[in-house]
């Protein structure tokens, strides 16, 4: 039901594989036709011009017309989004780069960009009447779900690998979530979630198994355009696990073109998916070493968020890389530690191993000539290193 407070221009959902429309005003998981991710559509012709953003609140909710929530009273927020876009002058000088910036998603509530997606998904869960939420997670998504469910007064169940640093498990318990530990990676946790939720009593908010986390994540794309005065970088480097950020940012760029917030002929950035050497399904598929990720075997990495061996959104990620002339590459755990040291010592940033991987990927692409030192480079640091101490303790010096 639409209420008087509705500002959202949400018009419906469609199957990302065959485009079959799905009604928006009810709880969905994957598409009924193909069991593929559902994507949200908006009536962009009635959205306001970008000048309407001036003076709005400094959170992702400043883009509320382009978000799915119908009634503002259902919003579950801890102030997520509008994270700083930081120039990296000392790093740039060291490597002879003209313009390198880092969007610091570690400054979000619960210390990662997962706050955006889970704020959105839990808001929608509340609006559409879910009894509670359940999630398989590599760490950060579980913490964010636990926090937003606590704020919404909804029960949360979090299933994570047993080897996940204790800080992630502990914080979930403080928020009152049920935490279950599983031997294996996130795909094994997903299997456990299916067992725990056979009756479908809880909303499964696994990456891309419900349509709204990506709508929160896409606000990174809106923000980096707005914060850069509507000029886009040449290249965006993103640490890809399940891929919602990569797919979401690209969706936002396309929406902004359709809205007229960006010129229709605007040159869009090349998108780079950065993975871990011990778990890089996308890199393997892109290189033609496997037809797809369905049988990929991953191993753990210090970048817990990248240990996603069989992402449901693989096809969508590959499409973004193809449309943007992007690429994918894998970084070793040792290189991530080197990147963490550089960003910490040169710029005062204690970034998650995933964020450090992105910087090390930029270095590799510069060496390979794929990236030029005079290009406008944007690094996405998706999280803070604080909860990863068990993985990196004592490695501050080489």
Ligand X SMILES: *Cc1c(COP(=O)(O)O)cnc(C)c1O
Contact 245, 215 (CB under 8 A): no
Query: Helix or strand or coil: residue 215?
Result: helix
List b or e across 224-238, with b for residues whose CB sees 16 or more CB atoms inside 10 angstroms.
bbbeeeeebbbbbbb
For residue 310, the minimal CB distance to Zn ion (Å) is: 19
- Locate tokens 């005003």: which residue? 25
Tell me if 20 contacts Zn ion by CB under 5 A.
yes
Nearest residue to 123 via CA among 166, 157, 154, 165: 154
- Residue from 10, 22, 24, 31 in contact with Zn ion (CB under 5 A): 31
- CA torsion, points 235, 236, 241, 247, in degrees to nearest 10? -100
How many positions of this chain bind Zn ion (CB under 5 A)? 7
Does 33 help bind Zn ion (rule: CB under 5 A)?
Answer: yes
What is the three-class DSSP state of 354? helix
Gap between the Cα atoms of 122 and 212, Å rounded: 9
Alpha helix positions (H), the chain: 89-95, 114-127, 140-152, 166-174, 186-196, 213-217, 219-227, 244-259, 281-286, 314-323, 333-347, 353-368, 389-392
Our finding on whether 114 is near ligand X (CB under 6 A) is: yes
The token duo for 259 is 């809205």
> Closest CB to ligand X among 37 and 70?
37
From 128-136, 187-195, 238-246, 370-378, give the range in contact with ligand X by CB under 6 A.
Answer: 238-246
* 136 belongs to the binding site for ligand X (CB under 6 A): no
Residue 361 Cβ vs Zn ion, minimum distance, rounded to whole Å:
33
Radius of gyration of the chain (CA): 20
Does 37 bind ligand X (CB under 6 A)? Our answer is no
Give yes or no for residue 25 binding Zn ion (CB under 5 A).
no
| 317/340 with CB nearer Zn ion | 317
Rounded least distance, CB 243 to ligand X, Å: 4
- Write down the least CB distance from residue 251 to ligand X, Å: 13
Rounded CA separation 128/26 (Å): 6
Binding mask 156-195 for ligand X (x = CB under 6 A): ----------------------------------------
Q: How many CB atoms lie under 10 A from the CB of residue 180? A: 17
Q: Report what 319 binds from ligand X, Zn ion, none; CB cut-off 5-8 Å by kind.
A: none
Q: Which is nearer to ligand X, 233 or 281 (CB)?
A: 281
Distance CA 351, CA 105 (A): 9
User: In whole angstroms, how close is the CB of 373 to ligand X at the nearest point?
Assistant: 26
Say whether residue 17 binds Zn ion (CB under 5 A): yes
- Binders of ligand X: how many residues, by CB under 6 A? 17
Position 216 contacts ligand X (CB under 6 A): no
> What is the C-alpha separation between 187 and 13, in angstroms, rounded?
26
Q: Return the DSSP state at 228.
A: T
Q: CA-CA distance, 146 to 48, in Å (whole number)?
A: 34
For residue 108, state whether it binds ligand X (rule: CB under 6 A). Answer: no
| 29 belongs to the binding site for Zn ion (CB under 5 A) | no
- For Zn ion, the closer of residues 34 and 258 by Cβ is 34
Q: Residue 20: which of ligand X, Zn ion, none does it interact with, CB under 5 to 8 A by kind?
A: Zn ion
Kindly tell me which residue out of 60, 382, 391, 392 binds ligand X, with binding defined by CB under 6 A: 382
Does residue number 305 form part of the binding site for ligand X (CB under 6 A)?
A: yes
d(CA 112, CA 107): 7
Classified as helix, coil or strand, 230 is coil
Cβ of residue 32: shortest distance to Zn ion, in angstroms?
Answer: 8
Residue 275, token pair as written in the block: 């993975």
Assess contact for 184 and 299: CB atoms under 8 A.
Answer: no
Could you give the CA distance from residue 110 to residue 387 in angstroms, rounded to a whole number?
10
Is 383 one of the binding residues for ligand X (CB under 6 A)?
yes
- Contact of residue 354 among ligand X, Zn ion, none (CB under 5-8 Å per partner type): ligand X
Options 68, 109, 142, 241; binder of ligand X; rule CB under 6 A: 241
Out of Zn ion, ligand X, none, what residue 327 binds, judged by CB under 5 to 8 A for its kind, is none
Tokens of 193: 């979630």
- Where along the sequence are the contacts to ligand X (CB under 6 A)? 112, 114, 140-141, 207, 239-245, 305, 352, 354, 382-383
- Where along the sequence are the contacts to Zn ion (CB under 5 A)? 15, 17-18, 20, 31, 33-34
């Amino acid at each position: 039901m639409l209420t008087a407070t509705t500002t959202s221009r949400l018009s419906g959902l469609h199957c990302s594989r065959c485009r079959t429309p799905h009604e928006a005003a009810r709880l969905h998981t994957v598409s009924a036709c193909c069991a593929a991710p559902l994507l949200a559509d908006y009536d962009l012709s009635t959205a306001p011009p970008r000048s309407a953003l001036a003076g709005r609140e400094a959170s992702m909710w400043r883009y509320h017309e382009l978000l799915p929530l119908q009634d503002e009273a259902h919003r579950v927020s801890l102030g997520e989004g509008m994270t700083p876009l930081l120039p990296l002058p000392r790093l740039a000088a060291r490597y002879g780069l003209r313009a390198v910036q880092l969007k610091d998603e570690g400054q979000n509530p619960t210390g990662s960009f997962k706050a955006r997606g889970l704020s959105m998904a839990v808001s929608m869960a509340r609006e559409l009447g879910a009894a509670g939420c359940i999630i398989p997670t590599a760490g950060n998504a579980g913490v964010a779900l636990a926090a937003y469910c606590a704020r919404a007064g909804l029960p949360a169940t979090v299933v994570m690998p047993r080897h996940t640093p204790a800080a992630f498990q502990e914080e979930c318990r403080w928020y009152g979530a049920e935490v279950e530990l599983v031997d294996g990676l996130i795909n094994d946790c997903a299997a456990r979630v299916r067992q725990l939720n056979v009756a479908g009593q809880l909303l499964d908010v696994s990456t891309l198994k419900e349509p709204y986390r990506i709508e929160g994540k896409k606000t990174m794309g809106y923000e980096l355009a707005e914060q850069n005065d509507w000029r886009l970088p040449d290249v965006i480097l993103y640490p890809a696990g399940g891929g919602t950020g990569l797919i979401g940012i690209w969706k936002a760029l396309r929406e902004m073109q359709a809205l007229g917030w960006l010129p229709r002929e605007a040159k869009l950035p090349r998108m780079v998916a950065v993975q871990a050497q011990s778990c890089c399904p996308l890199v393997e598929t892109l290189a033609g070493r496997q037809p797809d990720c369905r049988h990929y075997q991953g191993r753990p990495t210090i970048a817990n968020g990248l240990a996603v061996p069989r992402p449901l959104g693989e096809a969508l990620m590959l499409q973004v890389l193809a449309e943007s002339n992007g690429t994918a590459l894998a970084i070793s755990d040792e290189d991530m530690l080197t990147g963490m040291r550089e960003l910490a010592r040169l710029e005062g940033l204690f970034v998650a191993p995933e964020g450090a991987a992105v910087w090390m990927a930029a270095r590799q692409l510069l060496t390979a000539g794929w990236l030029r030192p005079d290009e406008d480079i944007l690094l996405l640091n998706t999280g803070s290193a604080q909860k990863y101490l068990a993985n990196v303790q004592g490695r501050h010096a080489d």
